[in-house]
Structure 1
Amino acid sequence: MTTVSRSTGQVPTWRRAVLLYIEAAWTWYRRNWRSTLVSSVLTPLFFLVAMGFGLGSRIQPSAATDGLPYAVYLAPAMLASAAVQNAAGESTFPVLSGFRWSRVFWGIASTPVTAAQIAAGQLLWIAARITFSGLAFVLVAALLGAVESPLILLSLVFSLLAGMAFAAPLVAYSATIDSEGQQFNAVFRFIVLPMTLIAGTFFPLTALPVWVQPLAWITPLWHGTELSRGVAFGTLDLWPALGHVAYLLALTLVGTALAARYFRRRLEK
């Protein structure tokens, strides 16, 4: 990733500074996108094929699947799950690298771009990555016959919101780490994986024990899954939807504020 130049001799506006960061990230990504293809696009699609068409061939349409083939039922939820998993990947080691290994954040901070603007640029780049991967997922899922309505494009919006609700607090946490990132093993093992299993991705939440269900309610993935699946199938109720959106926005805003704070603490001391 390149650093921001001082050549203009002027302090960039917030918008300009963030766009410069995203431009630098895009310059790196367009040369290295192949290295992210498996984790960001192919892995969710493999899950969709294995679960939706493999296991799903043994599951008959029923009330549990909203009367739909299992692959169709699964696709919007897998879109939300992929968004959250991609958010986890982009919010951990790449952020740590910017501080510790490549130290690119330090290079950018030596220019007129502020630490808070770097944090904002990183979060917006993560949002762009989630969107790119989500569009690729939707396209291939449609070609596989797992999409029955163009409304799944609205599911992409809600999946992005779920991904950012997880990414923003995680970026803030990653900005506090000054080790080799061993802490991320616990994040993936004890948060991301269980969240994927209990958030209603593969089966209705009511199939879980009653005492487990409140654990799912606090995860951004459950809220994203409910929104993504509801809008794709035209079953989304207004008031529950507003509650889901409010919760995800709150997580995103709090995480963004914390990320800016910890970036400033790290880069401006």
Structure 2
Amino acid sequence: MLSPLQARMLVVEASWTWYRRNWRASVVSTVLNPVFFLVAMGFGLGSQIQPGTVTSGHSYAVYLMPALLASAAVQNATGESTFPVLSGFKWSRVYWAMTATPITPGQVATGHLMWVTSKLTFAGLVFTVVGTVLGVVTGPGIVLSLLFAVLTGMAFAAPVVAFAATVQGEGTAFNPLFRFILLPMTLLAGTFFPVTELPVYVQPLAWITPLWHGVELTRGAAFWNLEFWPTVGHVAYLLAMFTVGALLAARHFRRRLEV
């Protein structure tokens, strides 16, 4: 009999086997896109922005770097939690093959989340190295920023995986997620400018997004100005989102695969 950990690691191994043969198809979206954003916004637009109170006294590229780490994690997590999950049920049907073995549907769900975690960590590490080479990393606090970024991505990934497990069609149900949740969150959750610059009535919408909590954590870690209780609150919010999402994902996988 497989132990629960062995079963989940087999799900991770299956994803890794596919990825090592097809990584070129996703390298632009997972690794290069954040770098392009950093160069275009940090050094392009940033050349017109003087260091000041808005950027906490840093250059705009330095100010942007840790926030893009969190933003990229959320975007990559969304990509790994939508169509790949639908494919496992509908097109490749690999989830059905897995559950024909001693691997349970719940273990398939949590194994997929473990795989997403590993991909976010790798992509974030590469982005951190590139940021260091470009001179926009201010110190070792960026390592803690990377951990917070992965947590942010997983806090969003888990509920999205749960939602993807309920999709029966060809994936058009993901369009509102991309257009009305992911895109506005990327633009308005503090990645490119402080949330305090938004109209007062819009700010609460930013506060409920996982990305705002992630940006607060990654910037605070990168610049060594984390405060204890706000940090506890941000981490607790992200952990709660992840936990609820992971439980729902396991439940929906069981409902769909146990027929």
TM superposition score normalised by structure 1: 0.95
Which amino acid in structure 1 is aligned with residue 32 of structure 2? L
Alignment of 1:61-140 (within 5 A): 61-140=51-130
More divergent stretch after superposition (26-35 vs 235-244): 26-35
Find the residue that maps to 1:63 and give its secondary structure.
coil
Percent of residue pairs bearing the same amino acid type: 64
Please name the residue that 2:169 is paired with.
179
Please name the residue that 1:7 is paired with.
none
Alignment of 1:1-269 (within 5 A): 11-269=1-259
Find the residue that maps to 1:256 and give its secondary structure.
helix
1:37-67 Cα offsets, whole Å, 9 max, x none, are 1100111110110000000001110011010
CA RMSD of aligned residues (A): 0.6
CA distance in 2, matches of 1:197, 1:230: 19
Gapped runs of 5+ residues in structure 2? Answer: none
Gapped runs of 5+ residues in structure 1? Answer: 1-10
CA distance in 2, matches of 1:137, 1:201: 16
* Count of equivalent residues: 259
Q: After the TM superposition, which segments of 4 or more aligned residues of structure 1 sit over 3 Å from their partners?
A: none
Displacement of 1:16: 0.5
CA distance in 2, matches of 1:243, 1:235: 15
Displacement of 1:30: 1.1
CA distance in 1, matches of 2:112, 2:225: 34
Find the residue that maps to 2:26 and give its secondary structure.
helix
TM superposition score normalised by structure 2: 0.99
CA distance in 2, matches of 1:145, 1:183: 41
CA distance in 1, matches of 2:133, 2:221: 20
Displacement of 1:145: 1.1
Which amino acid in structure 2 is aligned with residue 44 of structure 1? P
